[in-house]
Amino acid sequence: MATDMTARVLGLSRRFGKRTILDGLSLKLFPGTCTGILGENGCGKSTLLSILAGTLRPGGGSFLYQGRDLLKDPAFRQKAVGYVPQGTPLMDELTAMDHLRLWYPGKKEIEKELEDGVLAILGIGDFLKVPVSRMSGGMKKRLSIGCAMASHPRILLLDEPSAALDLICKERIGVYLSQFRARGGIVLLTTHDIQELPLCDRLFILKKGRLVPYEYDGNYHRLAGSL
């Protein structure tokens, strides 16, 4: 019998003081698909991804994948989940290669990925010796994604991946996400960028702690009014 590779978020909750941010939120994430989460600032999008990535504790709920709860199994979560937060989790004084050495198991793995893997697709070979302090926003974002993929995770969480990036960077990230999905990977992203909506197979609006399915028909004004 084939293994079910669907990821399931079940009954996720989180409060900050008296404010409910996530209210028993549930979601299925299917292999080979990208799910987009929309919503106004402060609605809980980043909180949702932070909990799924294990950097923030939930008030309750579970994140199931291959029969295991990723919220209670950090070792398995590190292998199964890659996370790129909205901010850049990089050290200014280190170069791109320095960061790759921190994340990847060895030189051969880095060289292979630079030749024909994720690092090649993202174009990281073009700035290996550049310190983070001198990188553009696009370079930092691409390097962050490259580092997040070091363990070859099957689930990729992206918090506004192409915010404020130029078209070339957006295209590189889009190409990689398409290839990742084609290999059966699961992508969950939050976005405010209309250009990212075509990347998504399904869209949801996060409102009052719950997810509401949304079909984008190209009418931005209708979308804005729904948030």
pLDDT in tens, 72-125: 999 999 999 999 998 878 999 999 999 999 999 999 999 999 999 999 999 999
CATH code for the part of the protein at 7-87+152-226: 3.40.50.300
In whole angstroms, what is the distance from residue 13 CA to residue 24 CA? 5
Q: What is the pLDDT of residue 164?
A: 65
Q: What percent of the chain has pLDDT over 90?
A: 74
Share of the chain above pLDDT 70, in %: 98
Helix axes 107-116, 96-103, angle to 10 degrees: 120
Q: Write down the pLDDT at residue 1.
A: 43
Tens of pLDDT along 183-225?
999 999 998 878 788 889 999 999 999 999 988 777 777 777 7
Give the Cα separation of 161 and 180 in Å (integer). Answer: 15
pLDDT of 177 > 70? The answer is yes
User: What confidence category does residue 166 fall into, taking pLDDT thresholds of 50, 70 and 90?
Assistant: confident
pLDDT of residue 42: 86
DSSP secondary structure letter of residue 218: S
Return mean pLDDT, the chain: 91
DSSP assignment letter at 198 = G
Residues forming a β-bridge with 158 = 84, 189
Asked if 172 and 203 count as a contact pair (C-beta separation under 8 A), the reply is no
- Both tokens of 188, joined, read 């969950």
Q: How far is CA 223 from CA 60, 192, 203, in A?
A: 30, 11, 11
DSSP annotation of 213? E
Tokens of 146: 């490259």
Domain boundaries, the chain: 7-87+152-226
